Structure formats: structure tokens, C-alpha cells
Amino acid sequence: MKLCNKCKEVKDRQFFYKDKAKKDWLYYCCKECDKLRHRTEVWLISLIFRSQKKHSKRRWHTPPSYTKEELSIWVLKQELFHNLFAKRAKSWYKTRLSPSIDRIDDYRWYSLDNINLMTRWENDDKWHRDSSKAVKQFNKEWEFIKKYCSAHKASRETWVNRWDISSCCLCKLISAWSFKREYV
């Protein structure tokens, strides 16, 4: 038996997630309270901000030029955010309908004048459309082998990790791959 720190009810151990960092190996709140916590606007904004920081670091971009509090103020002023959040709640919290923030200009970092709101599905769809740069494959003597419509397709056909192909194309690794300069 354990006391949930949120609802203040004593519940059986099976109603708590496991957490090895805790002395009793149980999460501080029950599964129901944890689900409710993940359905708040504040939690979603925090998740978006953490994601932006992580993606900026992975892309070697400048981190967001705003704080989490500044992002919260900007997001909560947007009527679209509240509409999207309500639609997400009506859909039983489907991830693809979650509000998401996209950069208007993909070659600039996250700043308040370079972001807009959309659903996660729209954002993912835009990324897949925009990221389909053609790649060329060469042999060790730099003789042309084949052109693929994207690194993802090249990965599927050659069994080479697509992140390795992209890194090679961006000249992070010496290899026989290069981006074709026009978009497919």
C-alpha cells in the first residue's frame, strides 16, 4: 500500500508505476493522477519546449531564444492552441491531434517571430514533405551508382542506416553519399 501524493488516497502497489530511483521502487503518484497530469496545457507546453531544446541540440542549431515562461505566455495567447487542445481532448488525447510548434523558416532557429502553431500530424507531414531531398550513391572511386528520392528510401534499399547517410551527405563523415541539390 502507498499514499498517492496527488489524490492523497492510499492505494495498492499495482496502481503505481515502477520507479527504480525511489526507495520503495514506486512512482510518487498513482497511474490515474499521472494520466491526468499529462493532459494539462502546462504539461504540453513543457513537453514542446523540452523537445525544441533537444532537436536544436541534435541539429546543431542555436537553442530557442526564449524561456519556457515566454513560450507559455505566447502559446496561451493563441486562440488556435486552445482550439487544438480541446479537439485533442475530445478525441481521447490522440497524439496526432496534439498542438505542435513549427518553425516558419526551417533554416533559422526557434524564436518567437519564427514559430507557428499546427497539429502534430500537420507538422510531421510538413517535415516528411520537406525533408525528402534526393541523395546520390557513389562507389569508392567516386563513380556514380544510383540516385534515390530520399535518404530514407536509400536506407531501405541499401540497408545502410539513414542517419549515417544523412551525416555523410552533410559532410560530417567521409563517404560515398551526397545530397542532390534540388528537392524531389
The residue segments making up the domain with residue 20 are 2-37
pLDDT tens sequence across 54-96: 988 887 888 999 999 999 999 999 999 999 999 988 888 888 8
Same domain, 77 and 100: yes
Picking from 128, 129, 80, the residue whose alpha carbon sits closest to that of residue 100 is: 80
Q: How many domains does the chain have?
A: 3
**Residue 48: what pLDDT?**
95
Same domain, 164 and 90: no
Kindly tell me if the per-residue pLDDT of 183 is higher than 60: no
Q: Which helix (H) or strand (E) holds 33?
A: helix 31-37
pTM of the model: 0.61
Last residue of a domain, one of 108, 129, 150: 129
Place of cell 519556457: 68
Same domain, 147 and 96: no
Same domain, 151 and 173: yes
- What is the rounded average pLDDT for all residues in the chain? 85
Same domain, 45 and 113: yes
Question: Averaged over 5-16, what is the pLDDT?
Answer: 93
List the single range of 14-23, 34-43, 109-118, 162-171 with lowest mean pLDDT: 162-171
CA 67 to chain centre: 18
Question: Averaged over 98-120, what is the pLDDT?
Answer: 90
Quick one: angle between helices 79-90 and 41-58, nearest 10?
Answer: 110
